[in-house]
Amino acid sequence: MKSVRSVVNNANAKMITTKITAGFASKVGAILAVAGSAVGLGNVWRFPTETGSNGGAAFILIYVLFMLILGVPVMVTEFVIGRHGHKDVTHSFLSLSGGRGGWRWMGLLPVVAGFLVLSYYSVVAGWTLYYAFEAGLNGFAGKDAAQYAADFAAFSSHPVWPSVWMALTVTMTCAIVALGVRRGIERGAKIMMPLLFLFIVVLVCCSLTLPGADRGLTFLFRPDFSKVTGQTVLSAMGQAFFSLSVGLCCLCTYACYFRKDVDLMKDGLKVATIDTLVALLSGLIIFPAVYSVPGLQPDAGPSLVFITLPNVFQQVFSGVPLLAYIFSLFFYLLLVMAALTSSISMLEMAAAYFHEEWRVSRPKSAVGVSLVCLLLGTACSLSFGLLAEVKVFDMTIFDLFDFLVAKFLMPVGSLLMCLFVGWVVDKEIVRQEITNQGTLRSPFYSLWFFLVRYVAPLCILLIFANELGLFGFIQKP
């Protein structure tokens, strides 16, 4: 029998909000859309960078462990909040809390996060689009390492062109979101995610034929636990957390459009599997390529993508220019797909709020949010050039936005969501969502709830402290 508290909360939810009528049309579309939100540029460069600087395969094993005990539980927590509310995130928190306390204000997190993340993420997405264009024109041919570094520095600091390419990515994202959940987001995911995997498969096949493939595979898959330190564990924990983009309400927003027959636990594992698979396949692309060129290291960070890899592609395929052209083009098209699938969820977070809360049409809300992000994104882009000397707390505008999102909004948002579902929401409501009103067996429910209540909050606090540099005394391997 449902508790009195559960009945009251459900009644409040009905009085507070109406339900969304347009959701994902299929389970496959929902999974691909959520996976697209999780899979982003970080899978392609952050994962190889973290793996490269933390000992290789040993790091991957620890990362997979934390994906299971931290990433998936927090992701399913977002699913519970979103699907139960079945509206924008603000109303989802409002309905689950019954209007009590200040939890309704948690719904404003996706609005703030959407503006901040899309503003600076679209700058980097614009870089990938420009590099895909350059690759298509065979613009990387005949250059040396110094030229690649000089070209990237000149482009990223240019007062106009980076903003133009950034605006193109925001415009494409806006066009997809404006079409709606089924015609835009779901259809886009069904097209872009298969393309993303096609590009990955082609690149992996090419990379495995390189002379450094055996060394790359050894580094990626043979664990060396002697290199594991406390910092390795913290880095693996952070990578599992950031890889799924939990804490920003992207997944919570998409869960608002889930059908009632979606198995939240099973689909959460599917999304985590896709996300991890993309990260591992990215390693299969990058490590054999990097190890094929003497003197290069696989832990170069973002410069790996825009400076090191163009040089690598030209060197390792120097005898076959056509392969160098194809490899470069497919790699940057892969980055464009990854960037767009994530950007769509970022724009949707804020656009859904204005569409539902202020009754603004979906196209107008998408355009309005995009225009604000264009202004903020231009400032972020110019922080590499004209506005490089404009600093807040000794950070450029781009770095400030990144700092606010990665160091505060993501960990704080995830922590509050775990506390909300684990300690505030009626347990019966949570169980009903996980079991689809009792129609599904959920043998791992108790374990998941324990992880959400106790383990995940502790891990998030450790990540929070590590991101703020409080564990700087722990040396990397």
**Matching residue, tokens 């594991």:** 228
Whether the per-residue pLDDT at 12 is higher than 50: the answer is: no
DSSP 8-state assignment for residue 439: T
- pLDDT of the residue at 475: 52
User: Taking residues 55-63, what's their average pLDDT?
Assistant: 91
Cα angle 39-45-51, degrees, rounded to a multiple of 5: 105
Distance between CA atoms of residues 325 and 329, nearest Å: 6
Which CA distances in Å does 222 have to 52, 214, 244, 277?
13, 11, 25, 17
Q: Phi then psi for 99, rounded to 5 degrees?
A: 80, 10
Rg (the chain; Cα; Å): 22
Residues with Cβ within 8 Å of 47's Cβ and at least 6 positions away in sequence, in order, are 239, 243, 279, 282, 283
Tokens read off for 85 = 């509310």
- The structure's pTM equals 0.90
Question: Is residue 66 within 8 Å of 232, Cβ to Cβ?
Answer: no
Is 18's pLDDT higher than 70?
no
Taking every pair of C-alpha atoms in the chain, what is the biggest distance, in angstroms?
A: 74
pLDDT of residue 11: 39
Using one digit for the tens of pLDDT, what is the confidence trace for 138-164? 999 988 888 998 999 999 999 999 999
What are the structural domain ranges in the chain? 27-467
Q: What is the pLDDT of residue 300?
A: 60
Two tokens, residue 353: 């709020």
Instruction: Decide if pLDDT at 85 tops 90.
Output: no
Topology of the domain comprising 27-467? Hydantoin permease (1.10.4160)
- Collapsing DSSP states into helix, strand and coil, what is residue 395? strand
Q: Looking at this protein, which amino acid is placed at residue 96?
A: L
CB 282 within 8 A of CB 216: no
pLDDT in tens, 327-377: 999 999 999 999 999 999 999 989 988 988 888 999 999 999 999 999 999
Q: What is the pLDDT of residue 311?
A: 85
Residues pairing with 322 in the sheet: none
At residue 317, φ and ψ (nearest 5 deg) are -110, 30
Give one DSSP letter per residue of 172-228, joined into a string.
Answer: HHHHHHHT-IIIIIIHHHHHHHHHHHHHHHHHHHHHTTSTTHHHHHHHHHS--GGG-
Q: pLDDT for 90-118, tens place per residue? A: 788 888 887 676 787 777 887 888 899 99
HSE-up of 16 (CA within 13 Å, CB side)?
23
Task: Please check the confidence at residue 14 and state whether its pLDDT lies above 50.
Answer: no
Region of 292 please: left (phi>0), alpha (psi -120 to 50) or beta: alpha
Distance CA 177, CA 26 (A): 18
- The string of pLDDT tens digits covering residues 413-422 is 999 999 999 9
Which residues make Cβ contacts (< 8 Å) with residue 35, sequence separation at least 6? 189, 193, 270, 271, 274, 275, 341
Instruction: Please give the mean pLDDT across all residues of the chain.
Output: 88
